[in-house]
Amino acid sequence: MSLPYSNSTSGRSAMDDIRKTIQAFGCSKFAPMEDFDAGKVIIQFEYRGRMVQVEASAKGYAAAWLRENPWNSRMRRSPKDHEAQALHKGQVAVWSILRDWIKGQLTAIETGILSFEAAFLGQILLPTGETVHQRIASQGLLPSPQEPNA
């Protein structure tokens, strides 16, 4: 099985789709951002006074793509160029991943499967500027996932 979104081409048009989706849902603010140094995409939006921040790592996606597509000496590009291609794929893919995830969460809310808080709890921004998930993680309130038994 190939890595999902590895053939994505939409990139920036996915950002426009996110904007349209959250606007149709009734969100009042929308701010997309790319952190080039950290290699991630950050989207903020507001719904009924609740600020939400969603992040996705292009570098994380690139690392997953490289695990599935390791460089070898038969390739017509250098290892560095291969890594650059992986990062480019990640930069395109994360927009599509966020578009689909946000659309899925908003659809679940609209159809009554989830409340807004249940769908976006970890991404709700606190007055301190951190998300609920970041606060929980920093305070060690969730146990670490256990390794599966082999």
Report pLDDT digits (tens) over 36-49: 899 999 999 999 89
Note the maximum CA span of the chain.
55
Distance (Å, whole) CA 57 – CA 32: 14
pTM: 0.87
- pLDDT surpassing 70 at residue 29: yes
H or E element: which one contains 32?
Answer: strand 29-35
Strand order in the sheet with 40-47: 29-35, 40-47, 50-57
Over range 2-29, report the average pLDDT.
Answer: 90
Q: Which pLDDT does position 12 carry in this prediction?
A: 76
Average pLDDT over the chain reads: 92
Tens digit of pLDDT for each residue in 86-142?
Answer: 999 999 999 999 999 999 999 999 999 999 999 999 999 999 999 999 999 999 998
